[in-house]
Homo-oligomer: A and B are copies of this chain.
Amino acid sequence: MKLHMLKSALSALLVFGSVHTTPAQEISAMQAPKVVSPEVGPDNSVSFRVFSPNANEVTVNGSWMGFRETLPLTKGEDGVWSATIDPLPSSMYHYNFFIDGVSAIDPTNPEALRDGTRYASLLMVPGAGASTFELNKVPHGNISKVWYQSPSLESYRRMYVYTPPGYDSGNDKYPVLYLLHGAGGDEDAWSALGRANYILDNLIAEGKAKPMLIVMTNGNAWQTSTLQNKPGVETITRENRAQFQGKFEESLVKDVIPYIEKNYSVIANKDGRALAGLSMGGGHTITASIENPGTFGYIGVFSSGIFDANADMAELEKKFTALKASGVEKYWVACGVDDFVMDSNKRLLSILDKTGLEHEYHESAGGHTWANWRDYLSIFAPVLFN
């Protein structure tokens, strides 16, 4: 900048971000004295701190703990509550404080995550375990929030589309992974918590995965987008939910795939289409693939399975046999040993065995967690489109 007279003034203005009496942007916080939280030690132990001279009790719950478990923080003489936990494996975690029982994101941590209707603070413990999904110094693909018409759901809906590095600059045709979230999530989940875009950026840079698009839809058929129900559906109850069953899977095949294949430079056949999902999205994956044999060449079911213990296995066998006959390149299943869906998962494995549908099974430690789903994607993506 050559304009000398604006320099000092701009410099003053640039500081507003850290001057709490005159924030240049608007969200105000009655700022506590400076504390550092979270702080990751050289040994990967983690300290949490929050300032409150007046609270009676401060606790923390993190994704490395049980859902209902909490760890108490201890109050220091300066009014700062703190707790240090044992070293964590290098990975991505999230946590909430509870100030006298009220859930709060860490007010000094600038990075929060959104999972459906909840927010939590991000904790990244660096090292090998986090490198697969960190924002590394590699070429990045772009994510677009794309609106499309869904005649099957009679609504105008939103999805996220990841296009790999180089997509805009060439005329190549790319394969597509349709990647489905679980219950409680939406089209935001696989990038916000799943970091699918960074996982693919990193795998593609290392030559471990083929460049591909990832299409991340909203699997809640009554929603048009995050938090927005379709017109006419004000609240969702067990009763009106029933009318949407199977509808999302139908819209995926009838609306989403044609939209993508019309508007993007992609391979428009089974060998260029993969479908995978976690939990409820794994259920959607199973249904959409057996109801539409010959549509997807690659199928991934994460932490899911045949949920109904009383399912008509004979009818299911017929469908899986037809799916097998349609030519599946890869059927990939993963579940954590502690996952509460293990029985459902086993029912899926047994039907795959019975029908002789060749598959790979990856059993991991842990349960129904994003840590596992990020891992599963980073193992699954490399086997696609080979």
Query: Which residues in A have some Cβ–Cβ distance to B below 8 Å?
Result: 1-17, 20-30, 32, 50-57, 61, 63, 67-68, 70, 94, 96-105, 107, 110-120, 135, 137, 139-147, 156, 158, 165, 168, 181-185, 189, 193, 225, 227-228, 231, 238, 241-242, 245-247, 249-250, 263, 279-280, 283, 286-287, 290-291, 306-312, 315-316, 319, 340, 344, 368-370
Among candidates B5, B54, B185, residue contacting A310 with C-beta atoms closer than 8 Å: B5
* A25-B286 in contact (CB<8A): no
* Beyond known contacts A1-B247, A28-B63: 6 more, CB 8 A cutoff: A11-B241, A26-B370, A52-B99, A55-B55, A55-B101, A103-B104
Query: Are A142 and B144 in contact (CB-based, < 8 A)?
Result: yes
Q: How far, in angstroms, from A111 to B114 measured CA to CA in the complex?
A: 9
Contact present for A112 and B102 (CB under 8 Å): no
- In the bound assembly, the distance between CA atoms of A176 and B7 in angstroms comes to 28
A54 in contact with B110 (CB, 8 Å): no
The 24 sampled A-B contact pairs (Cβ below 8 Å) are A1-B247, A1-B249, A1-B287, A1-B291, A3-B291, A9-B306, A9-B309, A23-B184, A24-B183, A25-B183, A26-B368, A26-B369, A27-B96, A28-B68, A51-B101, A52-B102, A54-B100, A55-B56, A103-B107, A119-B119, A137-B156, A140-B147, A141-B147, A142-B146
A307 touches which one: B13, B97, B279 (CB < 8 A)? B13
List the B residue with the shortest CB-CB distance to A59. B30
List the 9 closest pairs (A to B, CB-CB), nearest first: A1-B246, A9-B307, A9-B308, A104-B104, A110-B117, A17-B184, A5-B311, A24-B183, A144-B144
Interchain nearest-CB distance for A232 vs B (Å): 11
In contact, A279 and B13 (Cβ under 8 angstroms) = yes
Contact assessment for B228 and A137 in the assembled complex, using a CB-CB cutoff below 8 Å = no
Given known pairs A144-B144, A280-B10, the reply for A116 and B316 (CB within 8 Å) is no
How far does the alpha carbon of A98 sit from the alpha carbon of B102 in the complex, in Å? 10
**Other-chain residue from B50, B141, B185 in contact with A25 (beta carbon distance below 8 A):** B185
- For the complex, give the distance between the alpha carbons of A309 and B370 in Å: 53
User: Judging by beta carbons under 8 Å apart, are A10 and B283 in contact?
Assistant: yes
Chain B minimum-CB-distance residue to A224: B135
**A12, A67, A68, A139 pick with most chain B CB within 10 angstroms:** A67
Instruction: Report the minimum CB–CB distance from A170 to chain B (whole Å).
Output: 12
- Smallest beta-carbon distance A117→chain B, Å: 3
Q: Contact between B13 and A280 (Cβ–Cβ < 8 Å)?
A: yes
Q: In the complex this chain forms, how many copies of it are found? A: 2
A11 to chain B, nearest CB (A): 6
Query: For residue A280, which residue of chain B has the nearest CB?
Result: B13
Interfacial chain B residues near A120, Cβ < 8 Å: 27
Nearest residue (CB) in B for A56 is B54
Name the B residues within 8 Å of A319 (CB-CB).
Answer: 3
**Which of A24, A68, A100, A344 has the most chain B CB atoms inside 10 A of its CB?**
A24
Question: Closest B-chain residue to A28, C-beta based?
Answer: B67
Using Cβ atoms and an 8 Å threshold, which residues of chain B touch A306? 5-6, 9
Query: Contact at A25–B241, with CB atoms within 8 Å?
Result: no
Check B100 against A29 for contact (C-beta < 8 Å).
Answer: no
Are B26 and A283 interface neighbours, CB within 8 A? no
User: Please, which residues of chain B bring their CB within 8 A of the CB of A369?
Assistant: 26
